[in-house]
Amino acid sequence: MASSWARLPAASRLPVGLRHALTFWRRSIQARVVVSTVLLSAAVVGVVGWFLLQQTRDGLLENRVDAVLAEVGSETGEADERLQAAINLNLDAVGQQRDLVQPIISRGETRGFAVVLAGPVGADPTGAGATYTPWLDRDSVPDSLVRHFATSSSIAWTYTELTRLDERGEAVSSEPGVVVGSQVRLPADGETYTLYFLFPLSEEEDTLALVTRALLTAGALLLVLVAGVTWLVTRQVVTPIRLARRVAERLAAGRLQERLRVTGEDDLARLATSFNQMASNLQRQIRQLEELSRVQRRFVSDVSHELRTPLTTVRMAGDVLHDAREDFDPVTGRAAELLQTELDRFETLLVDLLEISRFDAGAAVLDLDDVNLVDVAHRVVEATRPLAAQRDVVLLVEAPDHPCLAEADVRRVERIVRNLVTNAIDHAGARHPGGPVEVVVRVAADDHAAAVAVRDHGVGLAPGESAMVFNRFWRADPARARTSGGTGLGLSISLEDTHLHGGWLQAWGRPGEGAHFRLTLPRHAGASLRRSPIVLIPDDAVETV
C-alpha cells in the first residue's frame, strides 16, 4: 500500500480541495491577475504604511521630548530659585531636600510624571538616601543615565520602561517613558544632587496605536477596493476571451457554424470579427476539402469497380497467351510472361484500391476471434521465404513457447505482418546485395497487449520519415524500383487495419542502421493501450549523443 502511494504523482496525493484550487489557479487568468495585483498593492501599502508610521512615531516622540525638556527646565529653574532663596535660612540638608522635592512630586502627581532625587553625585537612585515618587519603581532609571552624571553635569535624557508599584511594592503596570536627568546644588551641604524626571509616553503610544489602526483599516479597504476594481477590469477582458475559447472548442468539435457575437468597435470587437472571418474561411475550406475528398474517394471506388470487368477479360486472354508461351518465339514468349507479371501487379493494386475505398467509406468491419500471433508470424515467414531467398535474406522468428493471444481479425493481422515482412525484405536486400542479411520477426505479449515487431538492417529511415512511411504511395527513394511487387499502399492499408483494431503501428529507423516496425494490439477488443511488450527502439541500435 505504501509503495503504491509513493508511485502516485505528487499532484494526485494532494487533498481534493487543494487540487481543485490549484486547477482553478492554473486555468483562471482573472484569478492570477487579481491575486497578483492585490499582493503587489499590499506590498506597496505595507511599505507606505510602515514609512508613515515611522514618521508619525518619530514626530510624536520628538514633540514629547521637546515638551519634556521644556518642563524639566522650568522645574529645575524653579528649584534653583527656591534654593537660592533658602541660602539665608537655617535649614539642614535633609530639610532642603524635602523642600526641593516635595513640590515637584506634588505637581508630578497631577501632571502624570515621577521624580527621583539622588545624591550626592554618584549616588545610586535606588539607594536609601533617595527621595522619590511613592508609586515609582526606581529601577526605571537606566544605569546609562546614572553613569552619565557620574562624569558630567549637563542635562541628559533617554528612553526607558516606566514601572508602577502598588502599596505592597509589587509591579502592577509597565509603559514606555522618557527620563530626563538634571543636577542641582544644595546650599546646606554644598553637595550636588541629581533629579530624575520620568514622563510616561502612554498618550503617544495610544496616538500611535490609533494611527496604526487607521492605516490598517484604510489599507484593508484599499486592498478590497483594488481587488474589486481589478476583478471588474479583468472581467471585461477575460469574459470575451472565455467566450472565444468556448466557441473555439465547439469549432474543434466539428460545429463549424459557431460564431462569436460582436458588440462595439474596440479591439476585442475587432478580434471577434477577425475570429469569425477565420472560422468562416476554415469552414469553407474544410467543406471544399471534404467535397474534394468525397469526390476523390468516389472516383477511386468507381474506377476500381469499373476496371474489374476489363481486367477479367484481359486476365483471361493473358492466361491463354501465358499457357501457350512455349509455342511462341522467344521474344513473344517473354512478352507473354511480362504481361502475366504486370497483370498480377495490376490486380494486386486494384484489390488494394478497393480496400482503401472501403476504409474511406467506413465500410470495413472486423471478424474477431482469438488469434495467436506466434502462429501468424510463422505462417507469414513460411509464405515469404521464397521471396526472401531471391533477395538473399534470412528470415528468423523470435517468439515465446506459449501462445500470444489477441482478440483480432486474423485475415487483417496476417496482411499487416505480411506487409511488414515483405517491406523489410525489400529494403534489407537493397542494402546488402550479394550477401546474406537477417530480418528478425519478434512476438511478445503481456496482460494487456500483444505485439509483433519486424527488424531489418537495410537502408533505414531518415529523420521525419518514420511518420511519412505510412502515407499512401510514399517511397523513401523514388528513384529505386520496387522489386517485391509492392503497390505503395501496403503500409497505408496496414495502418488502417491497425486503427480498426484500436492498436498501434509504429516505425523507427536510422540511415544505415535499418528499420524497426512494431504492431501492438490490445488483448481484448475495445481495450485501450498504455504500453507495448516490445520496445520501439531496438536493443542493437547504436546510441547517438
Cell of 277: 472571418
Q: Is 338 exposed, middle or buried (0-12, 13-18, 19+ CB in 10 A)?
A: exposed
Mean pLDDT check: name the lowest of 233-237, 362-366, 460-464: 362-366
Give the C-alpha distances (Å, rounded to integers) separating 187 from 74, 268, 476.
20, 92, 121
> 429 and 393 in contact (C-beta within 8 Å)?
yes
Same fold, 87-200 and 365-522: no
Start-to-end C-alpha separation, the chain: 39
The domain spans of the chain are 20-85+213-249, 87-200, 259-363, 365-522
Q: Which residue has the higher pLDDT, 122 or 372?
A: 372
Give the C-alpha distances (Å, rounded to integers) separating 71 from 74, 76, 497.
5, 9, 104
Q: Is the pLDDT of residue 213 over 90?
A: yes
Q: Is the pLDDT of residue 356 over 80?
A: no
Which pLDDT band holds residue 2 (cuts at 50, 70, 90)? Answer: very low
CA dist 297 and 388 (Å) reads 35
> 194 and 119 in contact (C-beta within 8 Å)?
yes
Domain 87-200: which topology?
Answer: Beta-Lactamase (3.30.450)
Q: What would the CATH number be for the domain defined by 365-522? A: 3.30.565.10
- Top mean pLDDT of 107-121, 296-310, 444-458, 483-497 is at 444-458
Q: Is the pLDDT of residue 501 over 80?
A: yes
In the chain, % of residues over pLDDT 90: 19
- Residue with grid cell 476539402, as numbered in its chain: 289
Q: Is the pLDDT of residue 221 over 90?
A: yes
Domain 259-363, CATH number (from 3.40.30.10, 1.10.287.130, 3.40.1280.10, 1.10.150.120)? 1.10.287.130
3-state DSSP call for residue 8? coil
pTM above 0.75, yes or no: no
